[in-house]
A = this chain, B = another copy of it.
């Protein structure tokens, strides 16, 4: 495997250390429709997507699926509070395509943090990216019209409307599929 440069930036690892770092990541393959973690369980890994696409969502009180964010190639995804505190999550993470990813378990992250100063810095960078992805998707969601939010998404993440069904996009935007359908008809 290879972590993107934004993670190892400024941190020079000897070949042995690099090999050791990568040995903590487990390569996994999933089929479209499978889950990385589900509500009611503890999310025990951080996932780095090599190929494919994941969606994090939860159910509202009224039972509707609400998509919180997506993660694409070269991005990390996890239920961070669950991962960190080892508590039960209420988030589900579904793969929307056949996906290849690298998983880093809580235990191994803790090892990385403890074992070596450079590894701890890398752990910090990984968490930075997770935070960034969440902040990114959170932005500009409230208080605009549905059309504005849709246009913002297509502009900022053009890949997503191409690879994700309209239902999931609608649930991310906080509107119904019907409204999204009508809204697209107007464009």
Is residue A93 within 8 Å, beta carbon to beta carbon, of the partner chain?
no
Q: Are A131 and B80 in contact (CB under 8 A)?
A: yes
Tell yes or no: A171 within 8 A of B by CB.
yes
Whether a CB of chain B sits under 8 angstroms from the CB of A136 is: yes
Copies in the complex: 2
In the assembled complex, which residues on chain B have CB atoms less than 8 Å from the CB atom of A139?
58, 68
CB A92 to nearest CB in B, in angstroms, measures 13
Report whether A60 and B135 are in contact in the complex, using a CB–CB cutoff of 8 Å.
no
23 contacts between A and B (CB under 8 A): A60-B140, A60-B142, A60-B143, A61-B148, A64-B143, A66-B140, A68-B139, A80-B131, A80-B135, A81-B135, A113-B121, A114-B121, A120-B120, A120-B124, A124-B127, A127-B127, A127-B128, A127-B131, A131-B134, A134-B138, A138-B138, A142-B171, A143-B171
